[in-house]
Copies of this chain bind each other. A is one copy, B any other.
């Protein structure tokens, strides 16, 4: 709602933080594919069989790409309302990016050891860290610090808080479940981003504003 290049007097503009964030997301999303390599040697089934064998790695690639997309879009939507950044907000974001950079690592472990609860727990721990930082960033932003658009609908602010709390609540449960059933835990990692995409209070808020505007 504010021009990202407009000079915010006596405050750091948000555009460079956004560029850094977009860059880390773009790289994390693209290096996920480095786990998918052409099979070095072909067994009896030939290349077709070799590609089938990278199946679980491919599924992990798709899930991780969607997860990164979910976090990127949530970041984009939340930062849409940000006016300026300060030191604390920058460092919360750098920690968030540290978690984003860990996704390809956690994905590569999960792609290699899908049936192992430790691999699923590592993956869940990274997702949970990201979700917790997302919640913290929104909580920090919506405090009385002059960092965000004034006049945001308090109901929307609350709904986003609930939305962002889903991750930190669900991922510890998924980690616990992975020691009982890896399939069920994996299913939760699959369903979680879908829920996140469809129950999106910011999209609804923006659509409502557009409908009521003259």
A→B interface (CB under 8 Å): 1-7, 9-13, 15-20, 22-34, 36-38, 42, 46-48, 51, 62, 65-66, 69, 72-73, 76-77, 79-80, 86-87, 90-91, 94, 97-98, 101-102, 104-105, 108-109, 111-113, 116, 118-119, 122, 146, 197, 200, 203, 206-207, 209-210, 213
Contacts and interface: CB of A to CB of B under 8 A. Distances in A.
B62 A98 contact: yes
Contact of A101 (B30, B116, B200): B30
Given A19-B23, A47-B116, 10 more contacts: A3-B7, A12-B77, A19-B26, A24-B26, A24-B29, A24-B30, A31-B31, A33-B105, A86-B206, A87-B197
A21 to B, nearest CB: 8
B23 A122 contact: no
- State the main secondary structure of chain A at its contact with B: helix
B97 A29 contact: yes
A150 B71 CA distance: 31
Contacts of A22: 16, 19-20, 23
A53 to B, nearest CB: 13
What's the number of copies of this chain in the assembled complex?
Answer: 4
Contacts of A76: 12, 16-17, 90
A40 to B, nearest CB: 8
B18 A19 contact: yes
A87 B5 contact: no
Contact of A210 (B11, B38, B209): B11
B12 A7 contact: no
Contacts of A66: 94, 98
A200 B27 contact: no
26 contacts: A1-B7, A12-B76, A17-B76, A18-B19, A19-B19, A20-B25, A23-B26, A27-B27, A27-B31, A31-B31, A33-B101, A37-B105, A38-B109, A38-B112, A38-B113, A46-B118, A47-B118, A47-B119, A51-B118, A66-B98, A69-B94, A69-B97, A73-B90, A86-B206, A87-B200, A146-B210
